[in-house]
Amino acid sequence: MTDYFERFEFKYAVQSERREALRDRLLTHMEYDPFCDVHPEKMYSVHSIYLDTSRYLFYFEKLDSIKVRKKLRVRVYEQSEANKTVFLEIKRKINNNVLKERVRVPFEELQSLMSSEEIHPTDRERPRSRLALDHFTFLTRRLALEPKILISYEREAFHGIDSSDVRITFDMNIRSFPTSTFEYLKRPVETRNVSGRFFIMEVKFHGALPAWVNRIISDFGFHLQSYSKYCEGLDVWMATDRMARSAS
């Protein structure tokens, strides 16, 4: 699994009832990625806990539309797998250009992120893994980052048949739960829905976007949007808390 990559990412909020027609159109140029193909329902779960400072630096950088920003998260693709290993990910964004580093570590070593203890990647022979881990631990400790919220969703993912540099994902049933622990990566919790009647389509690519992708986007009337699962996930809880305080 790639430890580092750079690519462009475009996001679109799409009404759920358009998913089937959009999928049929994409499958004329794409196929399901291998992670979807092994599941009968052709999708898999994603669970991430996002880290931030006590003053929510990353949250406000997004709200203020800071052009160069980053976020750190701990991710698993199936909750049962969290008992074994998890991914530490740094995602840096410059406009629509995304640079991503990640490394796999044992779950039981996560608590060492908040201390000066050493953490070991599961693949110690890959220099990129060690470098990604060093970057993640440095930022976590330097900024005193802490877990803030769990974001979960189901993902349907496709890659181009002739354009292997193109990947398109549908992220559905996006939901969140505030947390100060990593334990909810391993077990279900009562989340709140974030995405409503929409799913998020992400178009991820290197170099130039193929003409057929632009044609589909144009035919469906999609418009490029700025969307943060982290910010939206926090907002549904903050709004409720504000309403509760005003009512009391």
Contact assessment for residue 103 and residue 90, using Cβ atoms and an 8 Å cutoff: no
Q: What is the model's pLDDT at position 247?
A: 45
Q: What is the model's pLDDT at position 163?
A: 75
How far is 122 from 115, CA to CA, in rounded Å?
19
43 DSSP 8-state letter: -
Q: pLDDT tens digits, residue range 126-159? A: 778 889 999 999 999 999 999 999 999 999 999 9
Contact assessment for residue 75 and residue 86, using Cβ atoms and an 8 Å cutoff: yes
Query: Which segments in the chain show pLDDT lower than 70?
Result: 1-2, 82, 124-125, 239-248
Task: Provide the number of structural domains found in the chain.
Answer: 1
Q: What is the model's pLDDT at position 1?
A: 52
How far is 98 from 205, CA to CA, in rounded Å?
10
Q: What pTM was computed for the model?
A: 0.92
In CATH, what number is assigned to the domain containing residue 225? 3.20.100.30
Q: What is the model's pLDDT at position 18?
A: 98
Q: What is the model's pLDDT at position 192?
A: 95
Range of the domain at 30: 4-247
Q: What is the model's pLDDT at position 248?
A: 44
DSSP string, 205-231: ESSSPPHHHHHHHHHTT---B---HHH
Q: What is the model's pLDDT at position 82?
A: 67
Q: pLDDT tens digits, residue range 171-180? A: 999 999 999 9
* Token pair of 17 as six digits: 């009832």
